[in-house]
Chain A
Amino acid sequence: MGGPTVTIVRTGTANTASVVAAFGRLGTRAVLSDDPDAIAGAPMVVLPGVGSFSAGVERLSATGVDRAIIGRVDQNRPTLGICLGMQLFAGSSDESPGVAGLGVIDANATALPGSVSVPQLGWNRIEADPGCRILRNGEVYYANSYKLDAVPVGWRGAMTTHGDRFVGAIERGPVVLCQFHPELSGAFGAGMLGRWIEIAGGVPC
């Protein structure tokens, strides 16, 4: 496969095989890394995530990858966070009270309401802000128990409803943070990843 390589942060808990396979189907090579320098310098980085908020934060700070990731987002360099890999950018989460997140987004992740099935497992609709370049309206696959409630200032977003209305994804230039799993969202997800690669490719390293 030619073209750019995407670097996937090895988190130890996330099942990264789906992410690697999704990029492979798009003809983009994916490599795994937990080296902060490699992650800071990579043209495109994906922060995948399953598992708990506290375990995710611990792992990122133990390897020093937290500072590399924060730096990338602050500088608007191509970065994609998925599921827990989105929530980790918040300041805190009700899942792990007292644990500080990366704090890039001024938000607290909250639990899905008691009136609906939790975890939310399955396909739900996102409605994207018309100004989005990477996100579109469509049906996407979720596997989450926590969520962010509002699109932060300076970002454009897509919203979903499961009991409450919550943030499906946000984008700011080549930085995209998704509560859903684009790598598991079939043709729609593949289209979204393709747009991210295209926009990321236009960003100088």
Chain B
Amino acid sequence: MLTVRVIPCLDVRGGRVVKGVKFQGLRDAGDPAELAERYEREGADEIVVLDVSATAEERAAACGTVAEVRHAVGIPVTVGGGVRTGDDAGRLLDAGADRVSVNSAAVANPGLVREIADRFGVQCCVVAIDAAATGPGGWEVVTNAGTHRTGIDAVAWSQRCASLGAGEILLTSWDRDGTGSGYDLGLLGAVAGAVRIPVVASGGASGPGHMAEACDAGADAVLAASIFHDGVLTVRDVKRDLERAGVPVRMEGLS
């Protein structure tokens, strides 16, 4: 059966992996290619590379970093940050990304989702949605690294993205990101129940327990950054715990 993916996320700024809470107070966490290689050895199912400075500073994601990560690992690499046009996506794919993630630019121009799906395939087209709670059972899309509240309903937006050709939703809870208090399971369940495409849970995990909860809520994959960078838990540790919790994960070569 299809297993749940465990995905370390590398937030990259200026060619280095950084970590911080809500993209503030960033600290250095290492070299992207070295970390990616270590995570593959530990059993990571995919690597996500996000250029956290791209949107705020209006610059294109670093193709050089993508190429280095690509050469280092034999697992899928998804890249996001600052993708505004189909040509931006094409450059990242040429540099070695397997999938490209769009966020703020897709909210401003939903046609971008269709363009990427048509030109590069549905499976290449990931839409990252940052969502913040508006009240019980309600979430709105936030953009531009959390600085702009759009008023757009996050569940309706995820359905629109799927109909435009998105092949996956990378769903980050803006309220939980960096807090370690667990994924927003209500948000996750609402979006996973509304679309047929895979949904990746992001924002708030501090351990395998949170990840198992996310899978129960309907996530097809779980993403985390700081818990892996800090070295407190390896990907292997997390997958063993998920397996014990009854979540199907790829354990081959990890025993």
Contacts and interface: CB of A to CB of B under 8 A. Distances in A.
Contacts of B34: none
13 contacts: A15-B98, A17-B67, A21-B71, A121-B5, A122-B3, A122-B4, A122-B46, A123-B2, A123-B250, A139-B3, A145-B122, A186-B74, A186-B253
Nearest to B90: A15
A15 B121 CA distance: 10
B45 to A, nearest CB: 6
Pick the 7 closest A-B CB pairs, nearest first: A17-B96, A143-B123, A50-B121, A15-B93, A123-B250, A51-B121, A139-B250
B96 A50 contact: no
Contacts of B15: none
Contacts of A152: none
A14 to B, nearest CB: 9
A39 to B, nearest CB: 21
Interface in B198-235: 198, 220-221
Contacts of B87: none
Given A119-B197, A122-B3, A139 B252 contact: yes
Nearest to B67: A17
Contacts of B45: 122-123, 141
A140 B111 CA distance: 33
Contact of A121 (B70, B95, B168): B168
A184 B121 CA distance: 17
B177 interface: no
A118 interface: yes
Interface string B86-110: 0000000111111100000000000
Given A15-B94, A114-B196, A122-B45, A187 B120 contact: no
A121 B75 contact: no
Nearest to A121: B198
B124 to A, nearest CB: 6
Given A21-B96, A118-B197, A124-B1, A13 B71 contact: no
Given A118-B196, A123-B5, A139-B3, A13 B121 contact: yes
* Size category of the binding interface on chain A: 35 or more
Given A13-B121, A122-B3, 14 more contacts: A15-B96, A15-B98, A18-B70, A50-B121, A51-B119, A116-B2, A122-B46, A123-B2, A143-B98, A162-B1, A184-B74, A184-B75, A187-B74, A188-B253
A125 interface: yes
A190 interface: yes
Contacts of B80: none
A94 B181 CA distance: 45
B95 A17 contact: yes
Given A18-B98, A145-B122, A161 B1 contact: yes
B96 A18 contact: yes
A189 B74 contact: yes
